[in-house]
Amino acid sequence: MQRHPGAGPLQEKLKILVKPLVFLFAFLALSFSLYHLGLFHFFTNQHRLVAWIHSLGVWGFAGFIALQVVQVVAAPIPGEATGVLGGYLYGPVVGVALSTIGLTLGSYVAFSISRFFGRPLTEKFVDAKTMERFDYLLHHKGAFLVFLLFLIPGFPKDYLCYILGLGHLTTLEFLSIATTGRLLGTMLLTLGGTFLRNHQYYRFFLLSGAAVVAVFVTIAYRDRLERVFQRLHERHLRKKGKGPGEPT
């Protein structure tokens, strides 16, 4: 049988596209089902979430962890809301522990999805401008830089999990960075929820006001901060004798 020219590359392209298309179809089907069943409204209603978690009884811990996983992977609800919810339901210590477990698992799932399915799928969830801004992270590990990005208030950390799945960080390195980088923000959100739980509203509003100021300052100087981080990253690479485009 005569082989047609170009059949090999075409088959390779089809293989590359199959996984992302299958996942995208499954994701769209799940999203449609959630919307049709009214679950999107459920996830965005904090009172319903509290009632649902309480109704789980001894399984409430597992339900809350699952909620944190979902908000990282699919983001149907704001991460700030679930962080405050953890403090409101469980207090500062247990709330931080459960949120950290859920956020770490969710980060791992997002990172693994991106690593397994590759860039064609990731670009369906992360816009081209964001991908371009952080493209340099895909050529080097830049562990300390990634840690700093996770520390920035209001930074799109869930998108970052998908982007980093395309880079050179190992799974263990990524999980270590994501867990410790998210910890400060998790503690502050949980503390806010604890203030609400104890009816310490003035403390909650003081903490919220400080957080809002921090987020606005970060947004105002975000581009400048990212340029500084990128320059530090490139300087570190030059000291190691590697150019900006060379993999580590």
With a cut of 90, say whether residue 98 has pLDDT above it: yes
* Residues 117-150 pLDDT 10s: 888 878 777 777 777 777 767 666 667 778 888 8
Residue 203 has pLDDT above 80, yes or no: yes
Q: What is the 3-state secondary structure (H, E, C) of 26-61?
A: HHHHHHHHHHHCCHHHHHCCHHHHHHHHHHCHHHHH
pLDDT: is 242 or 187 the higher one? 187
User: Around Cβ 21, how many Cβ atoms within 10 Å?
Assistant: 15
CB atoms within 10 A of CB 206: 13
In a domain, 3, yes or no: no
Q: Give the per-residue pLDDT at 54.
A: 73
Tell me which of 9-23, 148-162, 193-207 is least confident. Answer: 9-23
- Residue 207 CA to residue 70 CA, distance in Å, equals 26
In a domain, 185, yes or no: yes
What is the C-alpha to C-alpha distance for residues 110 and 186, in angstroms, rounded to an integer? 18
Position with higher pLDDT, 6 vs 175: 175
**CB of 16 closer than 8 Å to CB of 10:** no
Tens digit of each residue's pLDDT (9 = 90 or more) over 39-62:
445 455 556 666 777 777 778 889
Q: Please list the alpha-helical segments (H only) found in 37-170.
A: 39-43, 46-55, 60-73, 79-117, 119-125, 128-133, 143-151, 157-164
In angstroms, rounded to a whole number, what is the distance separating the alpha carbons of residues 46 and 83? 12
113 lies in some domain: yes
Asked whether the predicted pLDDT for residue 3 surpasses 50, the reply is: no
For residue 91, is it within any domain?
yes
In a domain, 160, yes or no: yes
- Domain encompassing residue 214: 12-239
Q: Any residues with CB less than 8 A from the CB of 147 and at least 6 apart, and which?
A: 177, 180, 181
Looking at the predicted structure, is the pLDDT value of residue 95 above 90? Answer: yes
* Residue pLDDT, tens place only, 162-178: 888 988 888 998 999 99
Q: Which of the two residues, 88 and 35, has the higher pLDDT score?
A: 88
Instruction: Give, for 172, the enclosing helix (H) or strand (E).
Output: helix 171-197
Nearest CA-CA partner of 51 in 102, 88, 103: 88
Answer whether residue 105 shows pLDDT above 90. Answer: yes
Go through 61-78 and write b for each residue having 16 or more CB atoms within 10 A of its CB, e for each that does not: bebbbbbbbbbbbbbbbe
Q: Residues of the chain with pLDDT > 70: what percent? A: 65
Sequence length of the chain is: 248
**pLDDT at residue 103, as a whole number:** 95
5 part of a folded domain: no
Indicate whether 45 belongs to any domain.
yes
Are residues 61 and 100 in contact, defined by beta-carbon separation less than 8 angstroms?
no
* Number of domains the chain is built from: 1
